[in-house]
Structure formats: C-alpha cells, structure tokens
Amino acid sequence: MQHELKARMTNPATVLPEAMPAIMNLLKATREAGVPETTLELVHLRASQINNCGFCVDFGAKSARKNGVADEKLFAVAAWRETPYFSDEERAALALTEAATRLADASDAVPDEVWDAAADHYDEKQLAAIVLMVGVTNLFNRLNVTTRQPAGAGW
C-alpha cells in the first residue's frame, strides 16, 4: 500500500514565478561549462540523498537515467566509495558534493584534499559548475523538503 503524502503548499519557486527564470539560468550555466551531464546528474542525486529530499531523489534518479547514467551507478550512488562503478572524476565530484552539502558537519567543511582532488580533474569553469550545481540542488532540496513536496509530483 502506497503512503499518500500531501504538500504543505505549492512549490515556492512556482508561487513566486519571477524566481524561476533565475533558477533555470543557474541550471543552464552549469550545463554549459564542460562537465559531463552524467556527472552533474550524480551530483544532484547525491546532494538530494544527503538532504533526504524524496522529491529530488525521485526526480534526480529519473533524470539521471534519461540522461544516460547507468543503473549500477544509480543504485550505488549513496555508496559510491564502496563500489567500482565510478570514475576518478566522478568520485572527486561526489566527494566535493558531499563536503559542500554537509557544511555544518565539520569546522573545515570542504578540506583542501577534497578540493584539490576535484581540481585535479576539473578546470576552474567546471569547478564553478559543480559548485553551482551543488548550491542549486541544495536550494531545491530546501524548497521541497520544507514544503513537503511528494516524490513523483511534477512542477
């Protein structure tokens, strides 16, 4: 039996439609910086898992699959360190995602070794795209978790 969840309100980004173009422009910019789309999808999915955003995990997994992320990666992204499915580049992006999402968990939230590993694989423009993707995803997570947007609901 499926548990029915009900949103507290319509997603705030749709209630204030003038906010949506800015958010969409940020997303567009992340996709034009040379980071593989599949990596950006993994970044979105991992941050959403950390933040327990059911809407974003559901949406992110579907989007990742649609954009070419293999099932074994989708099924293992939460345990990426313990699986062989991820490239060194993806691992660096996922480590950066986790650190930048869990800012309150450590005094040096994004340590040099995490940043340097990402910088070994991505240039400054690509790093900017990954950091922006983490930030936008965290924004989405906070909007959707706070207002209890149910997984599977469309925008």
pLDDT surpasses 60 at 89: yes
The per-residue pLDDT for 154 is 60
Tell me the pTM: 0.93
Average pLDDT over residues 114-131: 98
Class of CATH domain 35-145? mainly alpha
Residue count (the chain): 155
Q: pLDDT grade, residue 14 (50/70/90)?
A: confident
> Are 40 and 30 spatial neighbours (Cβ–Cβ below 8 Å)?
yes
On the question of pLDDT at 136 being above 80, the answer is yes
pLDDT greater than 80 at residue 10: yes
Sign of CA dihedral 71, 51, 117, 78: negative
Residue 47's identity, in one-letter code, is A
Q: Which two tokens stand for residue 62?
A: 């579907």
Q: Residue range 82-109: average pLDDT?
A: 96
Per-domain residue ranges of the chain: 35-145
Q: Is the pLDDT confidence value at 108 over 60?
A: yes
**pLDDT tens readout for residues 34-52:** 999 999 999 999 999 999 9
Name the CA dihedral angle for 54, 59, 61, 62, rounded to a multiple of 10 degrees. Answer: 140
Average pLDDT of span 68-90 = 97
Banded model confidence at residue 13, pLDDT cuts 50, 70, 90: confident
Residue 8 pLDDT > 70, yes or no? yes
Asked if the model's pLDDT at residue 22 lies above 80, the reply is: yes
